[in-house]
A = this chain, B = another copy of it.
Amino acid sequence: MARADGREPLQLRPVHIETNYLMHPEGSVLISVGNTKVICTASIEDKVPPFMRGQGKGWITAEYAMLPRATETRNIRESSKGKVTGRTMEIQRLIGRALRAVVDLEALGERTVWIDCDVIQADGGTRTASITGAFVALSLALQSFSGKKSLSKFPITDYLAATSVGILEGGQVVLDLNYIEDSKAQVDMNVVMTGSGEFVELQGTGEEATFSYNDLQGLLGAAQEGLMELFEQQKAALGEEIMQKIENRRKK
């Protein structure tokens, strides 16, 4: 059975990654996954947060937000509310943690990379699109930076992408859920994986439902298919020179 938008169960939505989307940041992309659009930027700061000082290592931290009308109905800005919601905090902690898994923080030196993911338009999968896009922005920033200041090694040690998988009401396992599918799914799982096929994060939730070990196997298989395609998109966006640098680090 085809899905509401005509896709096959294990088919990703169209993915586009526009690099160097903004003039100021060291690295930036506009990533679209179907109708979900996120501006991801990477900014390099020449110091680390207090708890990291003096260790000779860098840090990656992430912030995530949505424009008020990224969604069907307008959301109150978090700046107006004066606080960040739990959902936002959860997502930005996830993005930072995931990226740190493929960065050699010692090679980065005592620097912080600030990742900003701002969702311009939301149609499901904003956190996974953010991770996939942020990886590209981060790679571009480090490439541009390594042209100016000498780094001992290129700090990116592998590719990193994320996607969502889920089980629809009838039991169908699907890849890359849009908003309508996501809000009706029984089980929802986000998978973050390296280019070598290792897991970085696995977050499966059965909101008001549960899932079996068999279900889990089906979900992980679907995720892997989508992720392989996302790695190809990232490589195309990054280009030969950066790809070569990442390959060099993977071998070690």
- How many copies of this protein are present in the complex? 6
Query: What size tier do the contact residues of chain A reach?
Result: 35 or more
> A71, A196, A202, A210 — which one has the most chain B CB atoms within 10 A of its CB?
A210
Task: Decide yes or no whether A107 CB sits under 8 A from chain B.
Answer: no
Q: Which A residues have a C-beta under 8 Å from some C-beta of B?
A: 22-25, 28, 35, 39, 41, 43, 45, 63, 65, 67-72, 74, 77-90, 92-93, 97, 100-101, 105, 114, 116, 118, 120-121, 123, 189, 194, 196-213, 215-216, 220
> Which residues of the partner chain B approach A88 to less than 8 Å between Cβ atoms?
79
- The DSSP consensus for interface residues of chain A is mixed
Q: List 23 A-B contacts (CB under 8 A).
A: A23-B121, A23-B123, A43-B74, A45-B74, A68-B116, A74-B114, A78-B79, A79-B83, A79-B84, A84-B86, A90-B93, A100-B207, A100-B208, A101-B206, A194-B210, A196-B210, A197-B212, A199-B206, A199-B213, A199-B215, A200-B205, A200-B210, A202-B203
> Which residues of the partner chain B approach A81 to less than 8 Å between Cβ atoms?
79
| Residue ID in chain B nearest A224 by CB atoms | B213
Closest approach, in angstroms, between the C-beta of A32 and any C-beta of chain B?
A: 12
Closest approach, in angstroms, between the C-beta of A208 and any C-beta of chain B?
A: 6
Closest approach, in angstroms, between the C-beta of A149 and any C-beta of chain B?
A: 17
| Residue ID in chain B nearest A209 by CB atoms | B101
Q: Once the chains are docked, how many angstroms separate the CA of A56 from the CA of B86?
A: 26
Instruction: Decide if A203 touches B203 in the complex (CB within 8 Å).
Output: yes
